[in-house]
Amino acid sequence: MMQLVRVHNFTVSSDGYAAGEGQSLERPFGHADPGVLFSWAAATASWSLRTDPGGSRGLDDYLVREFDRNIGAEIMGRNKFGPQRGPWVNDEWQGWWGEEPPFHTPVFVMTHHERPSFTLADTTFHFVSGDPATVLELALAAADGKDVRLGGGANTIRQFLDADLIDTLHVAVAPVELGAGSRLWSSPEELLDRYHCDVVPSHGGVVHHLYWRR
């Protein structure tokens, strides 16, 4: 069985931004309101950060559930892992996700700055440098035959797209404009030369774009 590299539930504004300007500890998505970007996913029964029972089980939920199906490792950019930039001041920061991160696999954080691995519950974070192909090799080996999820942010996904390393992408386009920030694309059509795409409007207010290789 071939291992795939997959992007899931990655949400961008109508003008292609996954986060706004001025990202910080207080505002992880900068001037963007994550409540607006992710309301479609937060309403579903399978949302990994859901704490109460309930939630919808329609189209949005089918897509959200793919987050952990047959995933053996995640790759994320350093800017998704935390608000710090440049060399690590100390090792106190352990991500946004508390004592039980929703990944449940090895996570490879791409950074030029060394830092020891650490484990929270069943998630181990490794800090690795190198180009996308090099980091992907590590993640595929750690995934033990399962697929690798590419978790973002936009810059990281752009690097992997430019290196042609992504097999499938699910990008949700939210009905909000951001104007500036961390950008995935100018238009969803940019990928159509290399990917098939199903465009599926959702009652949750977003339009799902489901890409797979031609």
SS3 annotation, 106-147: EEEEECCCCCCCEEECCEEEEEECCCHHHHHHHHHHHCCCCE
- Residue 56 gets which letter from DSSP? B
Q: Say which residues have a Cβ less than 8 Å from residue 75's Cβ, sequence separation at least 6.
A: 107, 108, 110, 135, 136, 139, 148, 149, 150, 151, 156, 160
CB of 156 to its own copies, least distance (A): 21
42 or 138: CB nearest its own copies: 42
Euclidean distance between CA atoms 131 and 109, whole angstroms:
12
Q: Residue 58, interface with its own copies (CB under 8 A)?
A: yes
Stretch 155-184 residues interacting with its own copies (CB under 8 A): 167-168
What phi and psi, each to the nearest 5 degrees, are found at residue 61? -70, -40
4 or 128: CB nearest its own copies: 4
Q: Is the dihedral of CA 20, 103, 101, 53 positive or negative?
A: positive
Among 65, 104, 146, 158, binds its own copies (CB under 8 A): 65
CB of 66 to its own copies, least distance (A): 7
Binding flags for its own copies, 115-154, as an x/- string (CB under 8 A)? ----------------------------------------
Q: Residue 194, interface with its own copies (CB under 8 A)?
A: no
Using the contact rule CB under 8 A, the part of the chain among 59-67, 87-95, 109-117, 138-146 near its own copies is 59-67
The site for its own copies (CB under 8 A) is made up of: 2, 45, 53, 56-59, 61-63, 65-66, 69, 167-168, 196-198, 200, 202-203, 208, 210, 212
